[in-house]
Amino acid sequence: MATIYDIAKHTGFSPPTVSKALNNAGNLSEGTRDLIRKAARELGYVPNMAARTLTTRRSHLIGIIDSDLYRLNAFSPPAFTNIMAGFKQNMEAHGFEFLLLSRLYENHRDLDGLLLMAIAADQNDASLYSKFPCISVNDTLPGISKVITANYAGAIAAVQHLINLGHRRIAYIHGPVTPLSPAAGERRRGYRECLKQNGISIDNDLIEKADSWQPPEGYRAVRRLLERRADITAVFACSDHLAYGALKALGEAGRRVPQDISIVGFDGDPYGEFVSPGLTTMSQNAALIGRTAGELLLKKLAGGECPGTVRIEAELIIRGSTGRA
């Protein structure tokens, strides 16, 4: 059966333009509408119920709120890029276009819905977003559905991999823990639970906080760890970017990876394959997170109910940075 994407490829128009033509929405010329409708008939396109329900939407514009200046300056981890791609794939098929925002203002009231990637610290009031159908893929706000990685289970899998290799003195470095963005805390709970399940005592000297999720902070965190605990044999880093910094610090300290010390990251950053050694990581299924967020937002736009939280499992990818203790 033909899809909106097939019609777009056939006619040369974008998927949102095709959807608007088929749904009699937007400011398109009659010539454009006629051309697209003719192609739809030739290709045997049949609209689905979700598309028909959404034809009453007014602006066909979705706001994507991301206040992370590091990402907005083009230093985005691929996980967030892939979340965005998966989300856009679902929404474009129903004729929606997107407005990237760093924060929500009153003049954005004509938006049909919102995707929250990261909200500003002074905009963490759920009532700001309550008038919009809204899905979060990172931040936790009361009453707003979210789609996130199963961080707790993923951390258990990462630490269990190190334990299975014989490691017992396993350090954990993590980014900021906040009520709004709990990923680092959830991964810390998983780290502690896995140690407990394996009869390994929890040593708080092996836990080090980084002030951000970026490589320089991972570098500084591992240097602090090595100053007080030179006996560690493995590191679980809360993000791949922290792990990249950790690798540099370990190299400068003369600690060979994985011969002297193993390291596992968390994200599934594809660049982890190209560092030396390749980074073992818990890979987030970012594209699925994005597609799921799109499905839930479409459901909300059609008046449906959505679960409060959907967790997507992460997958262990073993590369050269982990070895036997």
Domain segments of the chain as ranges? 4-47, 61-144+286-310, 151-284
The per-residue pLDDT for 70 is: 58
Q: Quickly name the fold that domain 4-47 has.
A: 434 Repressor (Amino-terminal Domain) (1.10.260)
The per-residue pLDDT for 51 is: 52
Indicate if 151-284 has the same CATH topology as 61-144+286-310.
Answer: yes
| CATH classification for the domain delimited by 151-284, as one of 3.40.50.300, 3.40.50.2300, 2.30.40.10, 2.40.30.270 | 3.40.50.2300
Q: Within 13 Å, how many C-alpha atoms sit on residue 246's CB side?
A: 36
Q: Which tokens hold the place of 315? A: 């997958």
Q: Within 13 Å, how many C-alpha atoms sit on residue 123's CB side?
A: 19
The per-residue pLDDT for 65 is: 93
The per-residue pLDDT for 74 is: 45
Which residue numbers in the chain have pLDDT < 70? 1, 26, 47-58, 69-78
Could you give the angle at the alpha carbon of 311 between the alpha carbons of 134 and 199, nearest 5°?
Answer: 145
The per-residue pLDDT for 297 is: 95
Q: What is the DSSP letter of 26?
A: S
**Architecture in CATH of 61-144+286-310:** 3-Layer(aba) Sandwich (3.40)
Q: What is the DSSP letter of 153?
A: H
